[in-house]
Amino acid sequence: MSKALSENTGTSGRIADHPACSAETLCVGVVGLGRMGAAFASNLIQDSFKTVVFDRDTQKARTFAQGRAVAAGSYEALSDCDVVISMVPDDAAIRSVAEQLSGVLATNAVHVSMSTISPDAAREAAHVHYTVGQGYLSAPVLGNPDLAAARKLYILAAGASETIARCMPVLERLGQRVFVLGEVPELANTFKLAGNVLTASTMQSMGEVLAFLRKAGVDPHVAFSVLTESLFDGKVHKAYGGKIVNQRYAPPGMTVPLAVKDLRLALTEAETLRTPMPIASVVRDRLVAASARGWDDLDWSVLGKLAAFSAGL
């Protein structure tokens, strides 16, 4: 792994001028208005933050142009923001956003990347902002758009400690708990990838077991109840196992192509760290198989459908 950046952006700046940061003192931008970003924007607006929203699809931004919300037609319209949250799909997108924001934000404004990206991309984005005296946090999330709307996400934050403290009033309004993982931003992205590996592996296992029991003659809903009301009562087992047993694969919380991307990023980082992840490799191949069947628009829990299909069900 290449050397991690750990620059501290300092303690001065507009956000630090307001030690009791609140909706009354912060202007928050949101870049990327997919289901997750839209949930963030809606919650911030509901909390009366002055909110500026931007998306390449200008119509998405216009839907938020109400009250304290401003629809930005360009990155320049984000220039007065103290904090800008980005939720974009991949490494290429975050590199573009970081370059654009670094050119318009004030010194000591903070870019909070909540996207699922590679550690390398996070490292590069952080460097772009540090070079011009701006702050950068990685704050990816564990959870789906429904949990985002209900403020039930778990947020994984990493970056300079004082920058995290300055942004905490915003982060705490977007989820139920913020886990601080250290001062190196890309650690949060590494952890997020690990979480997605574990989630995908659990879905693959649930899909296989439910298909096995169903083929043996056990009612799948009974099987699900027994499993999730005994030893396997974790949130992932219940939430995604429920999607599998009810064959509820749309609308997607995360589509199959995005899941393939995340597993690929995790395996790439694992190779760099010389850490074998054989189960992750198998699950990635299963996701590719789901994509090959034309299921790209479905939720990644479609791994359960693939397991049933493979069993001849």
- Would you state the pLDDT for residue 308? 98
What are the residue ranges spanned by the domains of the chain? 27-182, 190-310
∠ CA 66-169-118, rounded to 5°: 90
Q: How many CA atoms, within 13 angstroms, populate the side-chain half-sphere of residue 114? A: 32
- Cα dihedral 112, 115, 120, 125 in deg (nearest 10): -30
The Cα–Cα gap between 183 and 179 comes to 12
List of the chain residues with pLDDT < 50 = 1-21
Any idea how long the chain is? Answer: 313
At 207, list the tokens: 């899909």
User: Domain 190-310 maps to which CATH number in 1.10.10.10, 3.90.180.10, 1.20.1250.20, 1.10.1040.10?
Assistant: 1.10.1040.10
Which of 294, 273, 298 lies closest to 203, judged by CA?
A: 298
Q: What is the CATH number of domain 27-182?
A: 3.40.50.720
Burial of 195-230, coded b for 16+ CB within 10 Å and e otherwise, reads bbbebbbbbbbbbbbbbebbeeeeebeebbeebbee
| pLDDT at res. 3 | 32
The tens digit of pLDDT for each residue in 244-303 reads: 999 999 999 999 999 999 999 999 999 999 999 999 999 999 999 999 999 999 999 999
pLDDT at 64: 82
User: Tell me, what's the pLDDT at 23?
Assistant: 57
Euclidean distance between the first and the last CA atom of the chain, given in angstroms as a whole number: 44
Give residue 2's pLDDT.
33
